[in-house]
Amino acid sequence: MMRVQMRTQPFRSAVVCAVLLLAGCASGPSGGIYVPAGERSQTPKPPLTDGTAKPADEPQVWRKSEQPLEQKSQQQTVVPGYREAGDQMPAAAAGLVKEADTLMAQGNGAAAIIRLERAQRIAPRSAAVYFKLSEAYVMTGQLGSAEQFSLKGLSLAGRDERLQRSGWLLLADIRRARGNVAGAQQAESRAASL
């Protein structure tokens, strides 16, 4: 008798689970499946997409692409990027550049590089810092690094013609010192065209 109960127990559990599963499938989120004839369901109406007015109690919500032109023009303000106008140097970076100038005047290019690398971390988009770093590397005889820093400074100089001209002339001097006469002449012609 005990064996029969043990065999029927899993069967009963499976039947109960199947009935509950079917009962759960039969009722959806809006209740049962059966809708008596003649009754209307309480389904919500779809949103209006043809541009008709919304009810007065709902606030008007604009997508960014649907905003009227007046609102768009007020929101957009043109701020020049760092490539259009070189970044201004913060006071801390300017102080480090001044210290580096003093050290280079004393002939201590290695100490100047340390100060200028700190200035670079403070003002990573300042072309003047990169040009000073380039000068310091020239002083220590590291012309490859000097050329790279002058090129980086030129990429950050923006539309500042004075800064670009000094960068191209610096690059011309570095290239001439490295033996690249054609590259030096090209840099000088770029400086002359500004």
Q: How high is the pLDDT of residue 72?
A: 45
Q: SS3 of 99, please?
A: helix
What are the chain's domains?
A: 91-192 (1.25.40.10)
pLDDT surpassing 90 at residue 20: no
Q: Choose among 91, 89, 93, 109: nearest CA to 101.
A: 109
Q: How far apart are CA 56 and CA 58, in angstroms?
A: 6
Q: Are 151 and 171 in contact (CB under 8 A)?
A: yes
Angle separating helix axes 91-105 and 127-139, nearest 10 degrees: 20
- Tokens 């039969």 belong to residue: 26
Q: Rg (Cα) of the chain, in Å, rounded?
A: 38
Mean pLDDT, residues 175-191: 94
Mean pLDDT, residues 46-54: 57
Mean pLDDT, residues 60-64: 59
- pLDDT category at 15 given cuts 50, 70, 90 is confident
Q: How far apart are CA 171 and CA 163, in angstroms?
A: 12
Q: Are 109 and 139 in contact (CB under 8 A)?
A: yes
pLDDT tens digit string along 113-171?
999 999 999 999 999 999 999 999 999 999 999 999 999 999 999 888 999 999 999 99
Query: What's the predicted TM-score (pTM) here?
Result: 0.56
- pLDDT category at 12 given cuts 50, 70, 90 is confident
Q: Which of 28-37, 62-71, 107-116 has the highest mean pLDDT?
A: 107-116
User: What residue type is assigned to position 64 of the chain?
Assistant: K
Residues whose CB falls within 8 Å of the CB of residue 42, separated by 6 or more in sequence, listed in order: 30
CA geometry: angle 135, 138, 142, nearest 5 deg: 130
